[in-house]
Amino acid sequence: MSKKVACYKVKNKKTTKIRKCDQKSINLLLDNGYSVSKVTEQGNKTKIVTFSPMTREEAWREHKKKFGSIPF
């Protein structure tokens, strides 16, 4: 089975496919404020990994501003 890998950069709700999908390129985009999604397809299985320039705490604060906290 062949393995297909594609990467996309996202900023301001605009998605663009990028050519290089190595860790150095991903880190450079993260430093410039982009979110990066790496899509790996192998046979019938698809794996999506998303890298964000925000820390988990920053992302949680943004989520709470938009949607409020989750009641448990």
Summarize pLDDT for 14-63 with one digit per residue, the tens. 999 999 889 999 888 988 888 899 999 988 899 988 888 877 777 778 77
pLDDT, position 43: 86
pLDDT, position 18: 92
Q: How far is CA 13 from CA 1, 22, 29, 45, 61, in A?
A: 33, 23, 15, 26, 19
pLDDT, position 54: 75
Q: List the 3-11 sheet strands across, edge first.
A: 14-18, 3-11, 35-42, 45-51
pLDDT, position 8: 93
**Cβ neighbours of residue 6 closer than 8 Å, sequence gap 6 or more:** 17, 21, 38, 39
pLDDT, position 71: 60
